[in-house]
Amino acid sequence: MNAALEAVGSLQDVVLRQTVPARELTTFGVGADVPHLLEIGSTAACAQVLKILQEHGASWRVLGAGSNVVLPDSDLSDVIIRLGRGLNGAASSVGEALEPIEQVADKLAQSRLPAMLYVAGGSGLMSLSRLLTARGLSGLEFAAGIPASVGGAVAMNAGAHGGSMADVLREVHVVSALGEQVLNAKDLQLAYRACCLPEQSVVVGAVLELKRDSAEECLKRRRENLLYRKKTQPLHLPSAGSVFQNPSDDAAAGALLDRAGFKGRRKGGVEFSEMHANWLVRSGAEAKSSDVSDLVQSAIAAVREMCAAELKPEIRMW
């Protein structure tokens, strides 16, 4: 491991950080410090890093904005990879140099060409939604309030309010130890919170196709989504968002958990929110990853016994 870290730490566009607190990496903020974090600022550097780690037999995981990940209470043996500032931005077409998203959105709004753009995987989904909708570029209104990176949103086909990344996704650019690969969205088996990506790959960018509408209408839809979140979700407390996927269109996980008596159920510094039963929140400084795991498993068992429904976690327990 030390040889691998020494090799990748000397690469251009790579920053090696050690003993990084969980609160800096995830929205839930529980778990042990991350021993080794690599922040990667270019596609070429990403390919080099993955090749070196593979050659040294070092295991790794990729972390986006950390909004649906709960880190373990003990140290991770894996190297954690996160896309840095060099992979935050957009381009009018694939192959062009990245620019601030705002500049690309301005050019796209003024153009008569199809409303398509390339967005780097480290870009923030919420800010992307805000900047595009303000210019009458529709398709990401659903993403208002989703604190994800574009890469992470693609990897899990993030969605809300009846929309998802699948609605706008046209191409995905991934990097593995073999280099960069461009994938057609039609080949990714996109489904509810699911995207079939190649193993041991990192999403470094995506091509999105939007629709043109009035900025007023786009912003109205986005505001409505934000207002709904504010009214129904405990946004004032640290969390990892929805805990479980909805078992079906007719069975919401939150309603099942409420029926099973889990609203307000607590262990240590973690509890199922009184505001929304499908949200676990960190309500105390003593919160542990094991508390999250215990509550998740208890909820799965209780709902299964109550109505034979099988809850599938949406959060990722590392």
Q: Which residues are catalytic?
A: 193, 242, 314
Is 51 exposed, middle or buried (CB count within 10 Å of its CB: 0-12, 13-18, 19+)? middle
First-to-last C-alpha distance (Å) of the chain: 20
| Number of C-beta neighbours around residue 96 at 10 A | 12
The interaxial angle of helices 101-110 and 125-133, nearest 10 deg, is 30
**Alpha-carbon span 39 to 98, nearest angstrom:** 18
- Look-up: residue for tokens 């920053």? 15
Residue whose structure tokens are 């994800």? 148
Tokens at residue 253, please? 């996980």
Query: Containing H/E element for 101?
Result: helix 101-110
Q: How many CB atoms lie within 10 A of CB 239?
A: 24
Cβ-contact 243, 314 below 8 angstroms: yes
Q: What is the DSSP string of 104-173?
A: HHHHHHH--S-SEEEEETTSBHHHHHHHHHTTTEES-GGGTT---BHHHHHHTT-EETTEEGGGTEEEEE
Alpha-carbon distance 22 to 24, whole Å?
5
The H-assigned helical ranges of 194-240 are: 215-232
**Cβ 213 vs Cβ 221: under 8 Å:** no
